[in-house]
Structure formats: structure tokens, C-alpha cells
Structure 1
Amino acid sequence: MKEASRSSIIEEIIEYGKPVVVASDVYPPPGAVKRIASMLNAKLYTPEKVLTVSFKNELVSEFLRESENAPENSHERDALAAALRAYRHYEKKLRQIERKVEGTGLTAGETLEVKGLVIMGKPVAEAIRSLKELEEVDKISSGPMEGGSEIETSKFSAADEESHGDVEKLRRTIRTQRSTIRHQRLTIEKLKREGRSLKERIRKLEKEKSKLESKLERLQYEYSRDLLLNRELSHKLKVIEKLQRKYTRERERRESLERDLDALLQIKDMESSENTSPVKIIDSFTREGIRSACSRWKIKRGDVLLLRSSEGGGSQTARILRDLKPCAIITEDRMSHQALEVFEEAEVPVISRESLDIQIHDDFGSVKTQDLNREIKKWKHRLNEKRKKREEEELLRVITEYRAQRRRNH
């Protein structure tokens, strides 16, 4: 039956009677099982959890002790196990129904109908009452036909027995049709209840849908409003951050200018002092370093300069510094030979810091005027000695060349 269509499955089931329960061995039940139960208007039973293979084998083995119809494969075994599990579930209720119908005069077939009604949800007493009411109707409708049955039976000839059998067959058909009508009425009542329940559920869902739509509209409005506010806030935050950066730069610039002004005032005081000379600092011996120091310290003729680093400074850079006409240049490291020649030619003293005790005040320095003058004097003396030596060497060279020339002429 695994490959059979749903309609052929239902036709096969109906040939054995009207099913009351459709059982499954798995939870949740497959969709096909749900649809078959719905089409048959039967109760769907599913276990609380999937039945294990060992449990299904135990159920089937216990049943086969009293039956010779053994399942031929695992699918038949699973189907039988599901049916047995469903029967066990309803067994206690079915026993109670059997006890309650004792003495009511209901036939075995009618008792089965009561069981079916109870499984479908009808109370036991109501199910028995409805069956008894239908039984009374059957008696009334069949009374005239059965009233003289014994008298007439004795008069039946062999030729009339066939007609009597047709009447009995017709009566069974009528009872079957009435039973079917009862089931259909119950089905109609059930469907009406389900219809009312579904209508109520639809009404509630539509009400909930309306609420959700209103909530969605409100959320969309709030989202749009918040999005607009967030964009505006983001723009304002960017403006604030930009202003903060500008403010920070301006504050740092103001603080730097205040420090420079304070330093310039101190330098001004030192320039008017006879004991201390201000020292203006140049961080690097480059065009940019000299330009930056000139802008900051307003370097002028006669200033004392301190070179933090002489690296990279050649004759061209030295000429820029020479044109400022400083009083002296103090170096912290060794200056290039080309730069020294430019300063010596212009008679700008270049003094090593090791020769002086320079005090650093934040961004500028100071030195004792007396010590500075002493080192300048020493530098000039060395320069004069160097020039004299150079002149003597030049004079000796000229004399030597003159004598050599006279010897060649003689």
C-alpha cells in the first residue's frame, strides 16, 4: 500500500467498515495520515513520542500469541503496533462503555456505535440515549411488517420464501442506512461546531491582524521618526566633533603662542641684562628648521643660536644662517666641513655646547654673557692663528716657487 493513492487507500479501508480511529506510530504524525483521518472523519491518535522498534516488537509479539495473522514486513508490523497502541489507549474507556450498556437492550452492533460516538467526543450517557431513541424509531417503522410475522410465516409457501428473504435483506439495508444517517448527522453536528469554532477563530485572528497592522503602522512611523532624528543627531554630532577638533587646535595654538610670548618676554629681559644672554634654539640644520625658528623666535642680527642637530646641513644651509648675522652658533654635534668654512669666512663663531653651561628654559636657553664672550674670543683667536698659519704657508709656497723659478732661469 506504500505506493497506493490516497483514494485507493480509503476505498480499501471502507470495504472493512467505517473506521473510528486512525493511528500513527510516530509523533508528530505525517501529513498523509492527518489527511486520511480527516477524510474518513475519524479520530487521529498519535503516541506522546515515537515508538521504538523494541516496543513495537513487544506489542506485536504479545498480540500474535492469540492470532495467526503475522505481519509480512516491517511496514505491516509498524501499522499493527500503531493500532494496538491506540487500542490500549482507549481500552479502559471501552470497558467502561461495555459495563454501562449492560441491561440497556442494545445489540452488539449498537454497542460498537456507542463506542464510536464516545471516541469521537460524545458523553457515554448521551451516546446511549441517542441510540435508544433511534431504536424506538426503528421499531415503530418496522412494527406493522413484523406484527403478523408468525401467523404469516405458517402460510408461506415455498414460492414465498424468496420474497421473505428479500424483505429481510431490505430491512438490514434500511438499518444500515439509518446507522449511516446517524453517523452523518453526528458528522454534520461536529462540522457545524468546528465551523463555529473556526468562525470565532477567524474573527479573533482578524481582530489580532487589525491590532498588528495598527501596531506595524505605529512602529513604521516611530522608526521613520527615529531614523530622521538619528540622521539629524548624527549630523549634529559630526558638527560638534568638527568644532571640538577646531577648538582643540585653536587652544593648542593659543597655548603655544602664550608660551612663545612668555619666552620672548624672558628673552627680551635677558637681552637688556649684562650678565645673561638668551639662546634661541633651532631644532634642525635645514631650510625648514631655520624658517620655523625664525618665525617663532623672530631671529635677528646679533642673536645667539643653538643647533640641536647639525645633520644634513651643508654650505647652502650655512649661507642661509650666515645671512642672519648671528653673534654665535652653538652646536651639540659635529658640523660638516663645508658649513664650517662658510661660517669661518663670514667670521661667525661656531662653539661646542660642551664649552658652555647652557640653561634650558622650556623652549629657549640662556648662557652667562661672560662665558660666551670668553668662548667667542677663543674662537676668534683660533681663527686668527689658523689664518696666520695659512698666510705663512702661502708665503713660503710663493718663496719656494720663486726660488725654484730662478734656479731654472740660471
Structure 2
Amino acid sequence: MPLAFPAPLAPFAARAHETRGRLYPETDSKGRTPFQRDRDRVLHTVAFRRLKHKTQVFVFHEGDHYRTRLTHSLEVSQIARAMSRTLKLDEDLAEVVALSHDLGHPPFGHTGEDVLKACMEGAGGFDHNAQTLRLLTKLERQHGAYLGLNLTWETLEGVVKHNGPLTGSLRGKEEEVPVAIREYAERQDLWLHTFPSLEAQLAALADDIAYNNHDSDDGLRAGLFSFDEAMEVPLLGPALRQARQDWPGEPKEVQIAEAISALIGRMVADVLEETSRRLEELNPQHADDIRHAKQPTAAFSDAMTEEMTELRRFLFTRMYRHHKVNQVRSQAKRIVRDLFDLYAEEPEILPPAWFERLEGEGREKRLRVVCDYIAGMTDRYAIHEHKRLFDLSRSFL
């Protein structure tokens, strides 16, 4: 059987051999491109392994069949690679951005992030994209010569600009650039005023596709809303009705799986069609033409965007704010707030390696160390530490 070689890249694709390089120059690998090396470095991080026990919607102990940050990241990666392959882009760059995009999430998902934002108000704030950059460029230690992973410019750009430009006239909302991103940009200019590569844009859309579909799947399987209720929801309803029609004798679990698979396919096809239309209008001849475009090049159609908005509204009211989920969110808020306040007040109880980072630092940087420590926790570890530190009935030994 003849070997299959990758298809030639489109002129507007990122090219690994043209990378803008790494903050600390390195000798090229003979067997891997720079973007492949980036992917492999991310896969071997402690932060990536911890995603296994970081929540999406359900906390780790609520069931083994629900998504975690790890399974979500893998699903995003698969979708991003598939779309990049179709458009003749660099799949490895799309993959590493997809695999990295959630590394900065604290325990308990967006609930944990909301608490850390409140805790760090007036001390630099908290943003999970900025925290991802801190992990990739400072907190992860795998090499003796430098802090972080020393990833390529293109990978870091894609992670930082997950939601588009951070400065300049193309910025959608006027918000201050997170401290971690501003500080790093002083060392390496990531072009915060432009869009990222097309590979990174597709990774961001793959994130939307993955979480809308797997949250629908998990919500149905968990019984947070019924099959019949979901039938009335844009996108999800038609997919479920078609699956029931095509597979009338199969159990609901199979019908749900068929519906979700078809819906992912429909969303992917929509992105590819709309992105191809925009590429034809823009006619880019280089990856930088994508960066300097006046709008995102990768996008959903207006019709799909409208339907996805309705689906998100349904999931928000019937799933994310379901009373059972609210009960868990309430517990999670108390755990993160209690831990933060205790570590800030009594930093000597931090593990020695973390306590040593506080020496000689001012208040804001001390709080940042506490924030970094908590943000790195898994749900399981945060729950365990809270019990150990606050349950007075437990043994002191």
C-alpha cells in the first residue's frame, strides 16, 4: 500500500518552517516540525494531565461518563484538525492551540474562575486565557534553561487571541488586556491588535462546536432536561427528531449519540462553507493576510449563529442553572473562596515550593502566587484540601 503524504498547504496556511520562532532560540528537530514539538510539549505537561479531573459542568465524582476538561480538549482537537485538513491548513498548529486552550481553567470551571476574579480584584484580576499563557511561559517547568515550554510564536498567539484581537480598532469590547498577557507582550510581541492564524480561528470555533454538543449530550444523559423538551430547541430538536425517525427501535442513548454526531457534522459543514466564502472574498496569499483582515475569516453563518444562540439560551436555563448544578456551584464557590482567603491570610501553610515564591514579594504578587496555586488544582484536590484544612473532626496527622 503506498504511503499517504500530506496535501500541499494553502497559500494562507501557517508554515512551520516560516515560524517567527521561540523566545529562546533552539536547534530544530530532525523528525518533527516546530508545531509538532509544541503539541508534544503540551501533551507532556502536568497542567494537561490535570485536565482529567477538572470539570466542564459536572464535578468529577458525579459520573465517569460526563465530559471533563481533558475529554473536551481532545474533542476540540479532533474537530479543529478535521476542519484544518479540509482547508489545507497546518493541522498540527490547530491541534496544539486546541489542546492548550483550557489549560488555565481553575477547578470547578467557570464557577472557580468567577471566584478567583473576585478574589484578585485590585490585584491584577484573573482570566483563564491569561492563566494559560502563564502556564505555558512561566509556571510549567520541564527545561533547565528557561521557565515554561518555550513554544513557538504562532502557538502562543493562537492561545492568547482565542477570542480575537485584544487591542486596536478590531477589538470587539473595550476591556483591559489581562496583566499576564501585557507583561509577556513586553518580552515578545504577539501582535495583540490582529486576528490570529486561520488554524487558531478554527480551533476557537471547534471549541464552540464541541461544548454546545457535548453539553447537550451530557444534559440529556443526566436527565437535566427531557428528550421531549430538547425536541423543541433549534438545532438539537431537528437532529433528535431525525435520529428517532432513522433509528426508531434503538434505545434513547443511541438516538442521542446519532443526533449529536449529525449535529457536529452540520456545524462543521457550516463553518467550512462560511469560511470558504470569506476566503474567496479576501483572496489571502499569506497567513498574515488572515491576521490583518477586517473581520474573522473563520466563522459560522448568520443563520447558524442565530440558532446556536437559541441553543445556548436553552442550555443556560435548563442545564447550567439547573438547581442541581446550582447546588454544586454553591459548594464550589465556598471551597475556592475559603482556600484563597486562608492561603492569603496564612501563607505558611502553602507547600514549601510555593511558600518560597512569596519571599520578598509585595501584596499583589503574593496574592498572584496564591491564585496560581489554586488555579492549578483539580476539582478533586481542591475538595480534599478544603476538607483537610477546614474539617476540624479530621485527624491532624
TM-score, length basis structure 1: 0.23
Structure having the larger proportion of residues in helix: 1
Structure having the larger proportion of residues in strand: 1
Give the structure, 1 or 2, with the largest relative contact order (CA under 8 Å, sep 6 or more): 2
TM-score, length basis structure 2: 0.23
